[in-house]
Amino acid sequence: MKYMIMLYASQREYDEMAGKVPEGEAVWTADDLAAMHAFMEKWNRELVESGEFVDANGLAAPVHTRRFHSEGGVPVVTDGPYPETAEVLAGYTIVECDSFDRASEIAARLARCPAPEGALGTAKADLRPIIDGRADLEA
């Protein structure tokens, strides 16, 4: 079965990683970013080697988002970021493995991803099975 691991971040976290926060506030250094990237590259490489990797991508900052919905049958478009949303989807990884428990083990390894002191504990990920069709909705 395939599973999607969804990684979340806020516009603030994107700004911190880009060094766009007021002086004196927690900012990701070049070394912090290099450590995070090295961790994620190793995590992905291990999934490729185990045959469980399907796909992965990071997403642009929330400021580059548009939300589409309908009001009275009329399309409405809102540019991001959205003040009512603290976190947005920042990236995803799709794995294919034998069980939800195995997919959970893979996602749980993300807790070891390095981050600067001020950013520890802010990262979140959701894990959801990917359905193949209507029958999966009824299960």
pLDDT bracket for residue 129 (50, 70, 90)? very high
**Ordered domains of the chain (ranges, CATH):** 2-133 (3.30.70.1060)
pTM of the model: 0.86
pLDDT digit string, tens, across residues 17-65? 888 887 777 678 889 999 999 999 999 999 999 999 999 999 998 888 8
Note whether 93 and 46 are within 8 A (CB). no
pLDDT at 137: 80
Residues 47, 49: Cα–Cα separation, whole Å: 5
CA distances 32 to 64, 113, 120, Å, are: 24, 10, 11
pLDDT digit string, tens, across residues 53-86? 999 999 998 888 888 989 999 999 988 766 656 7
- In the three-class reduction of DSSP (H, G, I as helix; E, B as strand; rest coil), residue 10 is classed as coil
